[in-house]
Structure 1
Amino acid sequence: MKRTFSHFFAALIAAAAATTPLVSHATELDAALACGESAHRFIGDLADQQLIDPEPMRVESNSINAFQPARGERLTAFGFSVFAVVGYEQDDPLFKRGKGEPLAKSAYGAVVFGNTEKVQAVVTEAGSNAIVHHVGPHITAIFCKRK
């Protein structure tokens, strides 16, 4: 799983760097990353509010879909800048299926610019049971997964 995440998020870094706008306001994703909702609700709400591009910029073989913030929008998670939100829910037309085995029936999260240890500390302090995954230098995924 670690190798798949690392390759996937490395590609996201390149895509996000080219499209990340400079803006003054931010929408916080902290409450959603307490892991109490479905991927459909998380991604669907962001798309309905036009905070993300509703078309995924990438679909990984494990079916995780990556969505970039909409032009002019800035998202944060636990104080860290978000450059992609990710998600997948089985049998949901909001998401595209990858060629391999899906990671989970429902999974979602955010990819942030931040040191993994610092992100883990803040997520733990907030009481979230999200999985914090090191992606690369100063790139960390905050991920909620339902079995």
Structure 2
Amino acid sequence: MKQLVRIACALACAASPALSHALALDAQLDCKSTAHAFIAPLLQQQLIEDKPMHVEPNSVNAFRPVKGSHLTAFGFDVYAVVGYQKDDAIFRQGSGQPIADTAYGVVVIGRDGAVEPRVRAAGSDATVHHVAPFITAIFCKPG
């Protein structure tokens, strides 16, 4: 019996970091926020890397989820968190014209045909855009 308790405790301890880093982003993708309000808490909770893995010419910054975190959006795994906000130190400016004063979203693993119905069913006005096979962007440009 003692051994069973030890094994259960060990499994619980091993699983707890992964569980503590799981987060569904559905509510934040209602397109009623700003890039700063969306991304700053994810940085603060150390759920995404603090430096963007890529900056598009239109200034959209792509942040990778940290190893061990599990971010989802509308039931799909998040590949990247994206955003830009003018005059905000979190974001680097690209070489071209910024996409907007503020814009944010996620890139998920899933077909756009499967993602869009879930986004609409949740009441989000986000743009759903095919990026590549089985890769879809869910993007908000409030304003």
Q: For this structure pair, what is the TM-score category when the shorter chain's length is used for normalisation? A: 0.7 to 0.9
1:36-66 Cα shifts (integer Å, max 9, x gaps): 1100111101001111011111111000000
Give runs of ≥4 in structure 1 deviating > 2 Å.
23-26
The aligned length equals 125
Conserved 8 A contact 1:59-1:65: yes
2:63 to 46, 64, 67: 67
Task: Name the CA distance, whole Å, in 2 between partners of 1:51 and 1:130.
Answer: 22
2:96 to 100, 109, 113: 100
User: Which residue in the other structure is 1:31 paired with?
Assistant: 27
1:89 aligns with 2:96: no
Cα distance in 2, alignment partners of residues 128 and 34 from structure 1: 5
Which residue in 2 is equivalent to 1:121? 117
TM-score of the two chains, using structure 2 as the length reference: 0.84
Per the alignment, residue 45 of structure 1 pairs with 41
Aligned position for 1:111: 107
- Identity %, equivalent residues: 55
Unaligned 5+ segments in structure 2 are 1-16
- How much has 1:24 moved relative to structure 2? 5.2
**How far does the alpha carbon of each residue in 1:60-111 deviate from its partner, in whole angstroms, 9 at most, with x for none?**
1000000000121010000000010000001111100000000111000000
Q: CA deviation at 1:146?
A: 2.5
Could you say which structure has the larger radius of gyration? 2
